[in-house]
Amino acid sequence: METAIGKLFIVSAPSGAGKTSLVNELVARAGKRHSLSRLVTYTSREPRKGEVPGQDYHFIGQGDFEAKIREGYFLEWVNALGSYYGTGMSVLNHVASGKSGVLVLDRPGARRVYEQFPAVLIWLTAPSLEDLKQRLMLRGTETEPQIARRLTRAAEEIAQEEAEKLYHYTVENGDFGQAADLLEQIVDKELGKKANQPL
C-alpha cells in the first residue's frame, strides 16, 4: 500500500500581518491530528530579536546561501530587501512521505512553488496599511526607513493580489483568535476533516 501524499500549505502576508504567530498557532492546534508542521525556510539575514534558528528560519551566511543556489538546493529563492530567502527542495520529500507542512513565503515565492507543486495558497492580510504600520513599529526590530520600505512593498503586494488573484483563501487578521479559527478550518477542510463552522 502506497503512502498517501501530504498537502503543502503556503501562507503569505505583508510584513506585520502576523503570519508567523498565526502559523505557529495553527500548528499548535492542528499539528498532531493532521501530521502538520511548519517547514522552515532559509535566509542570509541576521536573526531578529526573539527569533530562534531552526524554528523561525535556518540562518546561514550569504556565501553559504549562494553556494546552495549553485548546487540547485532550493525549490525557490529570492533576494529581497538586501537578503536572500529560499525554500529547500526537502519540503517536497516531506510531503511525499505523507506528512503535511506549512511554508511562510512571500508572493513571488508562493507563485514559484505553486508552479512546481500543487500547494494550497492562503493570503493573510491586516485590516489596513495603518494597522500594519502600527504593528511594525510595535515590533521594534526595524528602523523607520526599513519600516517605510516594508510598507511600500506591502501596498504593492496587496494591490497585486487585488488585481490578479493568486491565493485560494484570504484571511484577515483583525482579531487573532478569529483568524486562527479560520486557518484551522481551512486546513480541516483541505485535509478532509469536518470543520467546526462552515467557511
**Grid coordinates belonging to 114:** 505553486
**Grid coordinates belonging to 199:** 467557511
- The DSSP letter of residue 44 is S
Dihedral over Cα of 27, 101, 122, 110: its sign: positive
- For residue 193, what pLDDT is reported? 58
Q: Count other Cβ atoms within 10 Å, centred on residue 20.
A: 15
- For residue 146, what pLDDT is reported? 81
- For residue 126, what pLDDT is reported? 82
Domains of the chain, with CATH numbers? Answer: 8-190 (3.40.50.300)
Residue environment code for 184-196, b if the CB has 16+ CB neighbours within 10 A, otherwise e: bbbbbebbeeeee
> In angstroms, rounded to a whole number, what is the distance separating the alpha carbons of residues 101 and 10?
8
pLDDT digits (tens, 9 = 90+) for 51-75: 899 988 999 999 999 999 999 999 9
- The DSSP letter of residue 195 is P
**Grid coordinates belonging to 14:** 505583508
Strand partners, 62: none
pLDDT in tens for each of the 199 residues of the chain?
445 778 999 999 887 787 888 999 999 999 998 999 999 999 999 998 888 999 889 999 999 999 999 999 999 999 977 899 999 999 999 999 999 999 999 888 999 999 999 999 999 988 777 887 787 787 777 788 888 888 888 888 888 888 889 999 999 888 899 999 999 999 999 998 544 434 4
Secondary structure element (H or E) that encloses residue 91, with its range: helix 90-96
pTM to 2 decimals? 0.84
